[in-house]
Every structure is written in structure tokens, then in C-alpha cells.
């Protein structure tokens, strides 16, 4: 079953919990939490305090996407803040294997993300150690950008490798996903789709999430 991971980056932070309450009673199991440091990407979002503040009030899997340099520095802090998975960027550390091991040792799930210009073949040898591979379908840094069609081919390459090697690694796609293009990434092999502006920037957050699950039901 495909899962939707709505990105809180598009929430109104002056009333973040109200936006999250609007998701209650839908079929979502996780929320996507985008952390940006202004160095790895040209934008700054939020950090541990916001995550730990929403932790107690929301019984979702905290799917956390770190767009920060040298993420290995902060694994313990994110774990303390209550995240369930840390997805780091392949391009963000000199010692990506070391960073992956550190996250595993912390007892949380580990994901690895690649920017649009990174060749997915580079990370194939790492897939067996990962819970998730995240294909960025926009340049990371901002919500509301246009989906890059080239991502479809990357998803297919990863799907083929994962299936042929009988791996359990999930494929997530993030950036520019809308109700009218989500079918393409699912048909290419995505297990999880992130949508920010197409969920939290909409007036009817609950209705929008329901639309995604109706599409998922039609495809599978
Ligand atoms: C972008 C973030 C995304 C962002 C997606 O760097 O990683 O998760 O919130 O936003 P939309 O769905 O609006 O492209
Ligand atoms: Zn993200």
C-alpha cells in the first residue's frame, strides 16, 4: 500500500497544531518533517524544539528529512526530539556510511536522499543498509516547486534494483507532487509520496488527504 507523507513545511507555523489536527481521522500514518540549515540548502526551516513540541500531540511516524551538512552531528538530538526516521542527504557528508551506521545505532530508521543531479546508480551499493531511499523531484530547499519529470526514470531504476535483489528498502518521492501527477510516481514504483503545498496550503486539508488515498486505492 502506498503511503502519503504530508510535509509540514507548508503549514501555517503560527497555528501548526491546528493544521495537524485537520489531518486527524484520515488514513495518514506519517508526517514529513523538513529540516533545513541554510548551508546545504538556501533556506532555513526549524529544528529540535518544534519537533519535540509537536511529538506528544501527534501519534504519527515522524518521517524526518534532513537538509543539513554533516547530519551525523545531530543524530542524538533528533532522536531525543522524537523522530522515527532520519533521512540524510548523500551529498551532505564525507562519511555517508558512518552517518548511516550512527543512525542505525541510535535505533531509528535510516533513509538516504539524492538531489536531482545525483546519479541514482551511485547509491545502489548502499541500498541494502537503508530503510528508505528518497528521490528528490525538485531541488531541495523550498515547497511549491514544479515536479521534475526526469525523476520518473530514477524511481524505475531503483525499483528494478530493489525488486531484483529482494530488498525491503522503500522508495519515497518528494517535491512537486500533486493529485494530478501522483499516479506517475506510483506507477514508476514509489512506496511513499511526500506532498507539502498540495496538502497544507489547501483550504480543505482533510479532504485533500482523502483524495490522495482515493487515488492510491484506484491504482493498487
Ligand atoms: C523541499 C522539501 C519538500 C517540500 C515539498 O526541499 O523537501 O518536502 O516540503 O513541498 P511541495 O510538495 O510543495 O513540493
Ligand atoms: Zn522533504
Report the chain (220 residues): mean pLDDT per 10 consecutive residues: 98 98 98 98 98 98 99 98 98 98 98 98 98 98 98 98 98 98 98 98 98 95
Q: Which atom of ligand 1 is nearest to the CA of 36?
A: 6
**Per-residue pLDDT at 73:** 98
Distance 146 CA to ligand 1 centre (A): 10
Grid cell, residue 6, equals 504530508
Grid cell, residue 72, equals 551525523
Name residues whose C-beta falls within 8 Å of residue 1's C-beta, 6 or more positions apart in sequence: 216, 220
**Per-residue pLDDT at 89:** 99
Return d(Cα 145, Cα 177) in angstroms, integer.
Answer: 9
Count of CA atoms in the C-beta half-sphere (13 A) of 173? 29
For ligand 1, atom 10, name the residue with the nearest CA: 143
Select which of 37, 174, 191, 198 is catalytic.
174
Return d(Cα 173, Cα 152) in angstroms, integer.
Answer: 10
Predicted TM-score (pTM) of this structure: 0.98
User: 168 to each of 10, 46, 198, how far by Cα in Å?
Assistant: 30, 31, 28
- Evaluate whether 101 touches 138 at the Cβ level (below 8 Å): no
Select which of 34, 63, 191, 198 is catalytic.
34
**Per-residue pLDDT at 220:** 73
Amino acid at each position: 500500500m502506498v503511503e502519503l507523507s504530508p510535509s509540514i513545511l507548508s503549514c501555517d507555523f503560527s497555528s501548526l497544531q491546528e493544521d495537524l489536527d485537520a489531518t486527524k481521522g484520515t488514513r495518514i500514518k506519517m508526517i514529513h518533517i523538513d529540516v533545513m540549515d541554510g548551508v546545504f540548502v538556501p533556506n532555513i526551516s526549524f529544528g529540535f524544539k518544534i519537533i519535540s513540541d509537536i511529538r506528544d500531540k501527534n501519534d504519527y511516524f515522524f518521517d524526518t528529512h534532513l537538509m543539513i551538512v554533516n547530519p551525523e552531528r545531530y543524530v542524538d538530538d533528533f532522536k531525543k526530539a522524537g523522530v522515527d526516521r532520519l533521512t540524510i542527504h548523500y551529498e551532505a557528508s564525507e562519511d555517508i556510511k558512518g552517518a548511516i551506521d550512527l543512525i542505525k545505532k541510535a535505533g531509528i530508521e535510516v533513509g538516504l536522499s539524492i538531489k536531482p543531479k545525483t546519479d541514482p546508480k551511485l547509491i545502489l551499493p548502499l541500498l541494502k543498509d537503508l530503510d528508505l531511499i528518497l528521490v528528490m523531484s525538485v531541488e531541495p530547499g523550498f515547497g511549491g516547486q514544479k515536479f521534475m519529470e526526469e525523476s520518473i526514470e530514477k524511481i524505475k531504476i531503483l525499483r528494478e534494483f530493489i525488486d531484483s535483489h529482494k530488498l525491503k528498502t522503500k522508495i519515497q518521492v518528494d517535491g512537486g507532487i500533486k493529485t494530478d501527477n501522483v499516479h506517475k510516481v506510483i506507477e514508476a514504483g514509489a512506496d511513499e509520496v511526500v506532498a507539502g503545498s498540495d496538502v497544507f496550503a489547501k483550504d480543505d486539508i482533510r479532504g485533500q488527504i482523502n483524495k490522495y488515498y482515493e487515488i492510491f486505492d484506484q491504482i493498487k
